[in-house]
Amino acid sequence: MLTHPMPDPVALSLGPLAVRWYGLMYLLAFAQFLLLGRQRIQQPHIAAIGWKKEDLDDMLFYGVLGVIIGGRLGEVLFYRPAFFLEHPLEIVQVWHGGMSFHGGFLGVLIAMAWWARKIDRNLLDVLDFIAPLVPLGYAAGRIGNFINAELPGRLADPSLPWAMIWPNVDNLPRHPSPIYQALVDGVLLFVVLWLFSRKPRPRMAVSGLFALGYGCARFFTEYFRMPDYEVSFAGITISAGQMLSLPMIALGLVMLGLAYRKTGSRPA
């Protein structure tokens, strides 16, 4: 039986300054955005519509604001409103973990809309460009959750080779759900999107596939994660993460349908 190693969340200390693994994972996510973005700019169909390296720097700046502000507000409003109402100072302590992807997704949408309007670019072209750059950053965030011993999994069969005891929860075998989400919602989705986006696609197709793919992947991996809370309707019980993924699935289907409704629609 594996046991969660429960590493120190502080990677290193420089006097009074503590550098946490969770923060380093976010730095890694932002770094891979730039590295992959430079690779994407070199793709002929992307270079043909005028994307530049300077655009990456601007998008990263606005995107960081959207991720941090939206992700934290999403955690506050979607998952733990009662806790943060009692402990309002905890809202700004993002280094302790607790970032909602769905909140960050909305935050990035708003930030990209702001930037696109500022430079007079079509928002859908912006979203199609950045969609393949997001999943690996998400995976890095989930690794940060695992290091922090956050998001423990549901109970697992003790015979499962990678079933893991989380000492901060109990002594029962559990699924290492952050690792599942890093691999499925992150790495697998990245591979699919990166291969799909290497060729010219109709406007909205790449971002539509991202919304659909992430929504489906997250809905699946939520079955292995202890739910923050569950909701029931029509005799069906789903977790909060699954409930928030349903609009993404619907949005992705609509976007893909609109993108491909006309044969030979103009590539983005």
Domain coordinates in residue numbering, the chain: 2-259
Q: What per-residue confidence (pLDDT) applies to 39?
A: 94
- Is 38 labelled a binding residue? no
Q: What per-residue confidence (pLDDT) applies to 2?
A: 93
Q: What per-residue confidence (pLDDT) applies to 214?
A: 96
What's the whole-number mean pLDDT along residues 63-86? 79
* Dist. CA 2–CA 174, nearest whole Å: 10
What's the whole-number mean pLDDT along residues 224-244? 87
Q: Examine the pLDDT at 97 and tell me if it is beyond 70.
A: no
Mean pLDDT, the chain, as a whole number?
Answer: 89
Return the residue matching tokens 């992959």: 36
CA distances (Å), origin 28, targets 12, 128, 162, 205, 207? 16, 22, 26, 27, 22
Residue 143 has, within 13 A of its CA and on its CB side, a CA count of 18
What's the whole-number mean pLDDT along residues 103-124? 90
Confidence tier at 188 by pLDDT (50, 70, 90): very high
H helix or E strand, kind and range, residue 17 = strand 17-20
Range of 11-15, 93-97, 224-228 with top mean pLDDT: 224-228
Q: Is 240 helix (H, G, I), strand (E, B) or coil?
A: helix
Of the two residues 25 and 232, the one the predictor is more confident about is 25
Return the residue matching tokens 């699935």: 249
Report the helix count and the strand count for the chain, using DSSP H and E. 12, 7
Q: What per-residue confidence (pLDDT) applies to 75?
A: 77
What's the whole-number mean pLDDT along residues 198-227? 96
